[in-house]
Amino acid sequence: MNKKRVMKWLNSIVTTVLFLLLITVATMVITTKISGGDPEVFGYQLKTVLSGSMEPGIKTGSIIAVKPGGDMTRFGKGDVITFKEEDDKLITHRITEVINNGKETMYRTKGDNNNAEDLNPVLSDNVVAEYTGFTIPFVGYFVNFAQSQNGAFLLLIPGIIVLIYSGITIWKTVMALDSSNKKESKESQDNRVTS
């Protein structure tokens, strides 16, 4: 009987965690769509890596966490930064040299997997964030798909199914525990009456 109770509790915990994870992901996707920006968690922005220029450390299709804000002239050689190019395209590369001419700070950058440095130095004003070292490989493919119109629609259906299943499972578990508690309470009362 105790083994069944443990399994029910374990099932309930797993279902609750999955339910909370679903709500968190849905909230992130909705707030990202509303704000028009990248998902943000505890002040860190999540970016999808679309090229292999930083492999093997950062694989194509990975999600990376970057920390925006602060003094963008603070970086040194070896730091990995995310910056905007002229066409507002975001790039994450490693600093190979800091150029300080008194008025401006600029960085020479290079992708770890590239043979040569980037053509143009990066102005500190164009630096968006610093890479934190946090990477989840291959999840970026899923996130990009989820943010597309087709992906959002296709993910909505399984999301609703998981939500309904989670609700039913939690309800069944609560009812079973309630029934079990009532049964134990009645048995303990019966034992007291007969003794």
Active site amino acids: 51
Q: Encoding tokens for residue 63?
A: 């999600």
What does the DSSP 8-state code read for residue 62?
-
Rounded distance between C-alpha atoms, residue 65 and residue 44, angstroms? 6
For residue 138, what are the CA distances in angstroms to 25, 78, 113? 17, 24, 18
Query: What's the Cα-to-Cα distance from 163 to each of 11, 49, 169, rounded to whole Å?
Result: 15, 30, 10
Helix (H) or strand (E) holding 132: strand 127-136
Q: Please state, in angstroms and rounded to a whole number, the distance separating the CA atoms of residues 171 and 159.
A: 18
Strands 105-110 and 90-100: antiparallel
Token pair for 139: 């999840």
* 177: CB partners within 8 A, 6+ apart: 8
